[in-house]
Amino acid sequence: MDISDLLKQGNMGNISPEKLNFLMQFANQQHSNNAREMASELTKAASSAKSNGIEFSESERDLMIDILKQNMSEEERKKTDMIISLMKNIKKH
């Protein structure tokens, strides 16, 4: 699945050109297939975006996570989903 398929799934047709460009660049980078390293990659991407004046909505962050999960094994995807779920629960409290 490529970025355009992910954008269609996420109903992100109205995403700004700056965000779309950032996401396209992010999608084209080499990413780890490891759930533990994913958090580091997301943190770096968020920092880079913020330094360029770009902030992402929750659905846009979910899209970035989906990009990272594309080449993961099923086991690593499950680990990633568990990590994300825990982070969302912690954020709620």
Asked if residue 80 has pLDDT above 50, the reply is yes
Least-confidence region, from 5-14, 19-28, 35-44, 78-87: 5-14
Say yes or no to pLDDT of 79 above 80. yes
Q: What are the distances in angstroms from CA 76 to CA 16, 36, 64, 67, 69?
A: 31, 9, 16, 13, 8
Which pLDDT value is given to residue 7? 61
Give the model confidence (pLDDT) of 55-71 as tens digits. Answer: 988 888 888 888 888 88
- The half-sphere exposure of 16 on its side-chain side, counting CA atoms within 13 A, is 8
Hey, is 3 helix, strand or coil? helix
Q: What is the pLDDT of residue 91?
A: 74
State how far the Cα of 78 lies from the Cα of 89, in Å rounded to an integer.
Answer: 16
